[in-house]
Amino acid sequence: MKKIEIGKCLLPELLYKRKMTQVQLEARTGIDRRQINAYIKGNRKMSLVNAKVIAEALGCAIDDLYEWKR
């Protein structure tokens, strides 16, 4: 099995492309803005459930939320 590591969080780029703020993402997902900010800063990794909720709110795949290192 290949080792896969989570890299940089791509939320800033995704939010920019969709002209959305962290506050708007919070409103769409119910995930606290401080928690979203912690994902962006790399202080926390998203749970699978939160990644799914965020991906649906942004109209992207879960894989699009992070860079993936192989």
Q: What per-residue confidence (pLDDT) applies to 70?
A: 86
> What is the extent of the structural domain holding 42?
5-69
pLDDT at residue 4 is higher than 80: yes
- Could you give phi then psi for residue 16, rounded to 5 degrees? -60, -45
| H or E segment and range at residue 67 | strand 66-69
pLDDT in tens, 48-67: 999 999 999 999 999 999 99
Pairing of β 66-69 and β 5-9: antiparallel
Query: Whole-structure pTM over 0.85, yes or no?
Result: yes
Q: What per-residue confidence (pLDDT) applies to 2?
A: 83
pLDDT in tens, 26-46: 999 999 999 999 999 999 999
According to DSSP, the residues that pair with 9 across neighbouring strands are: 66
Number of domains present in the structure of the chain: 1
SS (H, E, C) 4-61: CEEEEECHHHHHHHCCCCHHHHHHHHCCCHHHHHHHHHCCCCCCHHHHHHHHHHHCCC
Q: Which CATH number characterizes residue 58's domain?
A: 1.10.260.40
